[in-house]
Structure 1
Amino acid sequence: MHRQNAAEGGPVRVGITGVGSCLPDRTVTSEHLRQRVATASGLPLPAGVFERVTGITTRRVAAEGEYASTLAVTAARTALDRAGLDPLDVDLLLFASATRDMVEPATAHIVQAELGSRAHALDVTNACNSFVNGIDTARAMIMAGRARRALVVTGETPSRAVRHRPDSLRQFRDGFAGYTFGDAGAAVVLEPVERGGILDVDTETHSEHWPVGGIAGGGSRHPRGEEHTYFHGDGRELREVFEKVGASVLDRVRRRTGPEWADYRHVLVHQVTVPYLERFREITGVPADRLVVTVPETGNVASATLGIQLDRVHDGLRPGDRVLFVGLGGGVSIMTMVWEKS
């Protein structure tokens, strides 16, 4: 377990001063996806099965010629505009995502070239916690005096890791989590603030569960082969890990920053399926009116999930409002962050 508290980190406070997101134009319904998979595979998939099991009705899918960097750049331009900044005002750019355009170079350079920035640019990758990890990393660098203003972006295209032609029910089940995926981008600007800002960050990592799911291709274990480019995973095992340790992580952050759920204007949580979100509420007791529910219409957009939710509520926040971020990523890692609007 690793924790940082702003009160212990010196006088520098770091806040979020600009937010942006991007959803591709193309919408794919769960029923359309089911028909495509059933037709391609010949498997007897009952009508409506995807929506019944996941609660997801639609998801956005990147078009041909749209990439992770494309979605990140669009979100980044919005975030910079809302912060009143030019790309050249940023001296740190982190592309923080489970998806990337290619193995090498870092996708941050592709984003930077498109934006026209000259910042120190690098990638941060930690499955669905990548974006929150990127925010935490940027905050730490600003507090350490290594950067003045940071742009953290994500672009997620996990829909391209979905197996549309499974050759058996076993293969279908192994990759079922992939049928929840949608594509999206998100971005935030971070800079020093006089009050509020990011107040608390907490992480807990259980790496013994790393084989629970992922995309094996592209690394040194499986550098080539289409078989390794599809997502596989056991969503049930991932949920069991969270149920064992997730509530204790939330209890810790609440003891430090706000013991009542009413102390937070919103609770933004990574959303995989509707039943998973309902189970989260059951375990934690988070009131429904504190959640920002996106998964039925966007699907699981990996690390962009919390950024999409933040963008939807940002304009309605007032100074002093606190937002609790709750991230869960393969590996397995759990992360919380408390941000107070300045």
Structure 2
Amino acid sequence: MKASVGILAAAYCLPAARRTAQEIFRDEGVNLGPGLEARLGIAEVPVCNGETASNLAVEAAREALRRAGVDPMQVDVVVEYSVLPQEYLVPVWNMSNKVQAEVGASKSFVVGFSGGGATNFLVALSSAVAMLQENENLKTALLVTGDVAIPGNRVLNPSDPVTVLGDSASAVVLQRGTTSAVMDTDLWSDGTNHDICYIPGGSLIHPDDAELYRLQLDKQRYDAFPKTDIVRDMSTTLLKRAGIHWDDLACVIYPNISSEDQNQLQQVFNGKMAPACAFNRTTHGHLQGTDFVLNYLSVLEKRELRPGDYMLAVSHGMGALAGVSLIRC
């Protein structure tokens, strides 16, 4: 039987400055009417004012290790789950290497994932759990991310906005042999949607076109993607495999994309979505994979879970990469 791997501790780091959705929409030349405001359900977001994604990530990693009581030299692997562009060209430069160096995790090696939206966190979670379970020489993993929006590109899809992006970093410490456990994860990708949400500029095809250096969304394909059906089917399969009934779930956590998006998933999960998801969406906007860490910690802080309770973490990955993870607290 495989040893359990669970979450020892988690932390997030936010920049001090904040901007309201009204201010962001005005600055980006987008009208925020009452109907759209209600559909998004985002009042303000944290924004960097001189901070870098990597520095925020270092702080989050240090805090997560402190909470876990883990010496950085005990970390065997650092797994990055960032989504947005980093400070220098990737993969020649990778933020997780800087995190490894600055937290002092010199015994570890570094891997990273990108391109899956908030589902990147679930990919990192699943991969780290598998490494710790299958390799007896690995015991502790540090998951880390830092995401800062491209300047002037916080409103995703200005012609028909889907969300408002905030800046953040987060980190999670996993360890083998814990009482809590990441029990299972299912991932599903649709390769035809590889360009449903991407940045066309700054690459080899369009290296010098600043106008294309924007996170773009194909809204028509995004709307057509059967988001609720996919996550419902994946969740049903995962729970059945684990021998757990829907009624056994204490709560579901989900990315903070918009009120509309969360309401659709609330119906799928029969009202089990944690109230913290809606609150954090309103006060932070969409923070990519950090949404999961923020919502997870909020649920724990509100003492909504008891030891042994089951939590489901779910993401449709903007139509490109969906994921579901079952966690026993």
Q: Tell me the TM-score normalised to structure 1 length.
A: 0.84
Report the RMSD for the aligned CA atoms in angstroms.
Answer: 2.5
Q: Secondary structure at the match of 2:253?
A: strand
Gap change, CA 1:259 and 1:141, over 3 Å in 2:
closer
Q: Secondary structure at the match of 2:289?
A: helix
Kept after mapping to 2: 8 A contact 1:34/1:50: no
Aligned to 2:306: 318
Aligned to 2:110: 121
Kept after mapping to 1: 8 A contact 2:198/2:215: yes
Gap change, CA 1:258 and 1:11, over 3 Å in 2:
closer
For residues 112 and 221 of structure 1, what CA distance do their matches in structure 2 show? 32
Which of residues 196, 202, 208 is equivalent to 2:192?
A: 208
Kept after mapping to 2: 8 A contact 1:124/1:133: yes
AA at the equivalent of 1:30:
A
Aligned to 1:199: 183
Which of residues 170, 173, 193 is equivalent to 2:159?
A: 173
Q: Secondary structure at the match of 1:302?
A: coil
Q: Secondary structure at the match of 2:316?
A: strand
Aligned to 1:183: 167
Output one character per residue of 1:191-244: Cα deviation in whole Å (capped at 9) or x when no partner: 112544111111111111222222123433333321222111134532432134
Gap change, CA 1:81 and 1:271, over 3 Å in 2:
same
- Shift in Å, 1:329: 1.6
For residues 277 and 171 of structure 2, what CA distance do their matches in structure 1 show? 18
Aligned to 1:167: none
Q: Structure 1: 5+ residue runs without aligned partners?
A: 1-9, 165-170
Whether 1:60 aligns to 2:46 is yes
Percent identical across equivalent pairs? 25
Q: Secondary structure at the match of 1:281?
A: helix
Kept after mapping to 1: 8 A contact 2:276/2:299: no
AA at the equivalent of 2:110:
A
Counterpart mapping for 1:138-177 below 5 A: 138-145=128-135, 147-158=138-149, 160=151, 162=153, 172-173=158-159, 176-177=161-162
- Shift in Å, 1:157: 1.2
Aligned to 2:242: 257
Q: Secondary structure at the match of 2:277?
A: coil
Q: Structure 2: 5+ residue runs without aligned partners?
A: none
Higher mean C-alpha displacement, 232-241 vs 11-20: 232-241
Gap change, CA 1:184 and 1:269, over 3 Å in 2:
same
Gap change, CA 1:150 and 1:188, over 3 Å in 2:
same
Aligned to 2:54: 69
For residues 9 and 291 of structure 2, what CA distance do their matches in structure 1 show? 17
Higher mean C-alpha displacement, 277-286 vs 45-54: 45-54
Q: Secondary structure at the match of 2:256?
A: coil
Aligned to 1:32: 23
The structure with the greater share of residues assigned to helix is: 1
Aligned to 1:22: 13
Kept after mapping to 1: 8 A contact 2:276/2:298: no
Counterpart mapping for 1:74-113 below 5 A: 74-99=59-84, 100-102=86-88, 103=90, 104-113=92-101
Whether 1:282 aligns to 2:267 is yes
For residues 197 and 308 of structure 1, what CA distance do their matches in structure 2 show? 19
Gap change, CA 1:59 and 1:264, over 3 Å in 2:
same
Aligned to 1:3: none
Aligned length: 319
